[in-house]
Amino acid sequence: MNREYHRWYSHDLGHDMELLVFGYSGTPYIVFPSSMGAFFEYEDTGMVGAVADKLQHGRLQLFCVASADRESWYNRAAHPRHRVDRALAYERYLLHDVIPLIRHRNGNPLGSTGCSFGAYQALTFALRHPDVISSAVAMSGAFDVHQFLDGYYDQDCYFLSPRDFLPNLSDSWFLDRYRGGKWVLATGEHDICLRENERMSDMLSAKGVPHSLHVWQGMWHDWPWWQKMAQAYLP
């Protein structure tokens, strides 16, 4: 299997960032790690192995990025406004550095995926940039960032929380692109994020956005279940 390591300085974040690429062609997906996860998390947790056949046969290509959670959402020592600023800087890093790398390597329509907090990142990035991301596979995600804001709230917070901005969205530029994309929500019947996924499904339905919600019987919030979901829902 093709495996590549990349590292370079991010001007948006002000430090080096690392990523791994798996596969050589097919549908490219940005892979967001779970809370405070590293760029090698998807490999270490068996997720890459779970889709190895798709990678080896050129059906799927993964671009596994590092998180910036420790300096943004999970940086409890910083003011919430600083946390938001760092989250936006991370988004710019993706747009300015990661997306051009992917486009240079693979011209197919781009997707995003992640598990747990990575699912929040994947879905939110796709909703904010539907001209860049045409499909999102979110596994066991929670889509509300209020818990990280300690009561602080502004316009940027609003647009970083899909639970806030999606119900009020009426801009056809976004909605038309949403309706032409692929949206997958997957969770387990015992998952702590089950209700969050049901709520997000209801929001997408209210906006006429075709999507699928999959609730796996007997499953919890953990990597062995996400491996099975990745096998089922990544192309």
pLDDT given for residue 102 in this prediction: 98
Q: How far apart are CA 118 and CA 34, in angstroms?
A: 4
CATH ID of 3-233, from 3.40.50.1820, 3.90.1150.10, 3.90.1210.10, 3.40.50.1950:
3.40.50.1820
Q: Rounded to whole angstroms, how far apart are CA atoms 183 and 72?
A: 26
**pLDDT score, position 35:** 96
The structure tokens listed for 170 are 């009426």
Residues 199, 203, 208, CA angle at the centre, nearest 5°? Answer: 145
What pLDDT is attached to residue 207?
A: 98
- Assess contact for 186 and 116: CB atoms under 8 A: no
Model pLDDT, residue 230: 98
Enumerate residue ranges in the chain where pLDDT < 70: none
Task: List pLDDT tens digits, range 5-55.
Answer: 999 999 999 999 999 999 999 999 999 999 999 999 999 999 999 999 999
